[in-house]
Amino acid sequence: MSTSTEAAEPTEHYADAGDLRIFYREQGAGPPLILLHGGLATGEIMWNPAVVAELAREHRVLIPDSRGHGGTGNPAGWMRYDQMADDVAAFCAALGLERPTVVGYSDGAQVALEIGLRHPALARAMVMGGVVTRPAEGYLELLRSMGFPGSGAIDLAEVERAMGDFYPTIQAAHLHYPGPDASRDYLTQISELWYSVPAYSDEQLASIAVPSLVIVGDRDDPSLDESLRLYRLLPHGELAVIPNADHGAGGLPLFWESVHDFLARHAHRENADA
């Protein structure tokens, strides 16, 4: 990407979209690029400001906080990936965004996958990092090891142990959950969300027609096989495997080099399917 143009400073806004007032940050100008963060995070926590500033030299970068996360509330009282994909579609409609490129990581990738299924004309191209396509045993075992033994069930002590120094950040980031049981209420919804991953059929995944980069760390056990499955089924899929990387691959320079290459080839095209 060009480094000759300095991007403007990020600004903060709200957009009324469906039943939500979505908090988002915006930076830069050009073709719209939406960054969808992972679960337990927010846009501010997930995306490195230096990375965003680099993207904003050539794109209008929009970073919404997902339903129930950060500055975006959750009046429904529950979260599902198809619901959150509809939120992104409503967000795009509210801002008049025409065929944005969508970059999602972890939960953000699950939302992007649902966008491809539910709103096939919405995105110009998509990046899906650390995605899963079915609730395989490795994925479920990871959830259990994090203190989520089942849908709607949480072990707060185990969650705190598993999250370590990140746990206070989680608590501080989701203050719109009121009352003394705020952390439990939020994490209960997260548990239900994470256990709601459907078993997508081959036919469903093969129907996602937009150019899509599937990207994964080679040590991201719950996602590696699933990412390969998705890549092989996508009619316009590309694959990047980040060496010596687990589910934290989204923060590595090589991850972003792969994303920049993909964006250069797809985000500016008038016809993404060409």
3-state secondary structure of 243: coil
Banded pLDDT at 24 (limits 50, 70, 90): very high
The structural domains of the chain, ordered by start, are: 11-134+200-266 (3.40.50.1820), 143-196 (no CATH)
Token pair in block for residue 75: 């009046």
3-state secondary structure of 129: strand
How many Cα atoms within 13 Å fall on the side-chain side of residue 47?
Answer: 29
- The pLDDT tens digits for 227-266 are 999 999 999 999 999 999 999 999 999 999 999 999 999 9
pLDDT for 268: 74
Residue 126 β-bridge partners: 102, 212
- The pLDDT tens digits for 182-229 are 788 889 999 999 999 999 999 999 999 999 999 999 999 999 999 999
The CA-to-CA distance between both ends of the chain, in Å, stands at 22
Banded pLDDT at 176 (limits 50, 70, 90): low
Q: What is the model's pTM?
A: 0.94
